[in-house]
Amino acid sequence: DQQVKQNSPSLSVQEGRISILNCDYTNSMFDYFLWYKKYPAEGPTFLISISSIKDKNEDGRFTVFLNKSAKHLSLHIVPSQPGDSAVYFCAASATGTASKLTFGTGTRLQVTL
Amino acid sequence: GAGVSQTPSNKVTEKGKYVELRCDPISGHTALYWYRQSLGQGPEFLIYFQGTGAADDSGLPNDRFFAVRPEGSVSTLKIQRTERGDSAVYLCASSQLKLQRSGYTFGSGTRLTVV
């Protein structure tokens, strides 16, 4: 039972363009969402988060949008840079189980020159 | 320390053997988590410690898996009678309190291969 889904296993974007990574969830109890970036042979590193009371959070080139009614969130990277090439994981947590993150399967982003 | 340290970085073991994986969290972080990442999957929650006690061990797959954190700092994940299906990257993470807005900090993981 995959409660957090990232349906695109990979994405290729040209440098300077926008990258849009999508994530869907099924558990309506999830109220906090995070994006992590992972390089090979390293642990995931936190990128950006959003609480369910918001619909948008921005941090520099990274913006996360949350659509609660559709149970959908997306990460926008503008402009994309070659160093952004990595695997991106969407994760979610629910109040009361705030210690536990449920991750999606990840999307591999490749930013080409 | 500066980050979450996990040792060993790689471990190859024979089916049926016992293994211990170590996690050294960031100094002062009271919360510690273990996750497992199988090939092509996202990290899956195993267990969460708050201080010395396991506050949530609902992700441990069966009784072959056990974790301790006796002094509230270093943690050891122990796997008995290893099976080939246990092969994965085991990730440890820590945070100052429970999950915060900035998430928690992961180590680089231990890649366990059971042959």
- In angstroms, the separation between the Cα of residue B59 and the nearest Cα of chain A is 9
pLDDT at A4: 97
Site from A38, A99, A102 to mutate, B interface, most B CB atoms within 10 angstroms: A99
Give residues with Cβ within 8 angstroms of B114, minimum separation 6.
Answer: B13, B14, B15, B82, B83, B84, B85, B86, B87
pLDDT at A98: 59
Q: What is the mean pLDDT of residues A41-54?
A: 93
Amino acid at position A16, single letter? G
pLDDT tens column, B53-69: 998 999 999 999 999 99
Q: Residue A99 in contact with residue A40, Cβ under 8 Å? A: no
Q: Does B83 touch chain A (CB under 8 A)?
A: no
pLDDT at A50: 95
Query: ∠ CA(A75), CA(B45), CA(B30), 5° rounding?
Result: 95
- In angstroms, the separation between the Cα of residue A84 and the nearest Cα of chain B is 18
User: What does the mean pLDDT of chain A come to?
Assistant: 94
Site from A36, A46, A57 to mutate, B interface, most B CB atoms within 10 angstroms: A46
Q: Does A21 touch chain B (CB under 8 A)?
A: no
pLDDT tens column, B1-21: 579 999 999 999 999 999 999
A73: nearest Cα among A9, A10, A22: A22
